[in-house]
Amino acid sequence: MNVISRKIKSLQCTECGSEYELGPIYGGCTNCRSQGKSGALEVHYDLDAVKLSRDWLDGGVRSIWEYRQLLPVEDPNCFLSLGEGNTPLTNDSYYDQQYGMPHVYLKNEGFNPTWSHKDRLNVVLVSKTKELKGTGIATSSTGNQGISAAAYAAAAGLPSYVFYPPETASIYHRLTGMYGGKAVVTPWESRGKLLRKLVEDHGFTPSYPLVDGELSNPYGIEGYKTVAYELVRQLGGVPDYILAPVSEGNALTGMWKGFNELLQLGLTDKLPRLYGCQAAGADALVQSLHQGDEKVKVLDEAYSLATSTRERTAGVHVLRSIRASGGGAFAVSDRQIQDTMIALGKRGYCVESASAIPVACLEQLFQEGKVRPEDKIVCLITSAGLKWPDLIAELAPPPLRIEGNWESFSRETGL
């Protein structure tokens, strides 16, 4: 570790460049809003004043706070941790055998404390809320985001409310309760309005965008930068391709910011190509990228068995990040998602349906013909499959039920 200084300049509007002091500002840029537009805020560092050497990315990292020089929480007494981050990156040799691609890796975020990548967002967001002396955490969620927010709120001693749609598996409601939060099941479209009311009238910190298509809480998204830092450490350099499932798109946006900051600091020498991966029934980003749109369109309706990515639109920032990276976007059918979940299971991975999407998209990436055998390709596995027991029960065979003797076992197994 060789740190001389860190400088956080401000919250800066991604549209008009207006700057704001760091504080509990969650409704975006007031300057843009006064002109009837919307502008998201992001944490802006004075990178010229940040002096980090390459060994900052080396060695054994035990906590994401070892990356605190580029995270927006300043008081170490407010650093929360439930053991998030430092997740495994494993090589999937199937792609070497089938396609001659020996460097395909799975970054398995299912190893986080609440079994998803959302813990990176919430550990930073709730720590910052503690530093700003906020009163509680509120979020809209399809599942992962909700239990993660509730767990970190609990770690901070804060109350939490989570608005879930009816389709979310009931285990999420109960887990929210286990973490001391309040799960509220309500129709899809009413979640945003309720969240806004709780934030604006009761001082809660939102852990989800208050406006569709905008960035999440500007502090939370910084947590996703740590995926970029870990990948550079684990691979010994920047991967060539990253494929990730996209709902609102915050994870890819945050990772892109992380890779760009590393490049500007001179700690790396290139950027990865990003690919957004969606279900065919909820593919607003894919359509907008292919059609050259300036913003992500809003679908009339969205459906997929991959509930975690079932959103009608996505943020403009993920569209811009992917475009700037020279990457792209792919969509796959629910059938392909199911088949990939089953195939991954047979290789030792039980992943959430949304996490199977980037793996299901690999074949399309190979068919583009740009990828070279020496390229390093990372699929972001965002969450564990165990959270959706009803879907697992549909995909996996039931147990053998036998009498308590060898003959019965032999009859069923043929042994």
Binding residues for Zn ion (CB under 5 A): 13, 15-16, 18, 29, 31-32, 39
Q: What are phi and psi of 71, to 5 degrees?
A: -120, 155
Choice between 29 and 271, CB closer to Zn ion: 29
Choice between 39 and 245, CB closer to Zn ion: 39
CB of 257 to Zn ion, least distance (A): 17
CB of 32 to Zn ion, least distance (A): 3
CB of 18 to Zn ion, least distance (A): 5
HSE at residue 5, side-chain half, CA atoms within 13 A, is 8
Of how many residues is the chain composed? Answer: 415
Handedness of CA 66, 72, 74, 79 (dihedral sign): negative
Choice between 1 and 16, CB closer to Zn ion: 16
Bridge-partner residues for 243, per DSSP?
275, 379
CB of 244 to Zn ion, least distance (A): 27
SS3 138: strand
CB of 39 to Zn ion, least distance (A): 3
Distances (CA, A) of 317 to 33, 42, 201, 213, 292: 18, 11, 28, 8, 14
Choice between 39 and 206, CB closer to Zn ion: 39
- Residues with Cβ within 8 Å of 22's Cβ and at least 6 positions away in sequence, in order, are 8, 10, 11, 43, 72
Choice between 39 and 239, CB closer to Zn ion: 39
Question: Contact, 138 vs 195, CB < 8 A?
Answer: yes
Choice between 19 and 339, CB closer to Zn ion: 19
Q: Rounded CA gap, 79 and 128, in Å?
A: 8
CB of 15 to Zn ion, least distance (A): 5
Choice between 18 and 63, CB closer to Zn ion: 18
Nearest alpha-carbon partner for 319 in 341, 294, 344: 294
Distances (CA, A) of 27 to 13, 221, 298, 315, 405: 11, 15, 20, 15, 66
CB of 31 to Zn ion, least distance (A): 5
Bridge-partner residues for 329, per DSSP?
276
Question: Contact, 33 vs 41, CB < 8 A?
Answer: no
Choice between 16 and 324, CB closer to Zn ion: 16
CB of 17 to Zn ion, least distance (A): 7
HSE at residue 341, side-chain half, CA atoms within 13 A, is 26
Distances (CA, A) of 86 to 199, 227, 353: 32, 8, 22
CB of 133 to Zn ion, least distance (A): 26
CB of 234 to Zn ion, least distance (A): 36
Question: Contact, 182 vs 176, CB < 8 A?
Answer: yes
Choice between 3 and 16, CB closer to Zn ion: 16
Choice between 22 and 302, CB closer to Zn ion: 22
Q: Rounded CA gap, 182 and 205, in Å?
A: 15
Q: What are phi and psi of 19, to 5 degrees?
A: -115, 145
Other C-beta atoms closer than 10 Å to the C-beta of 48 total 9
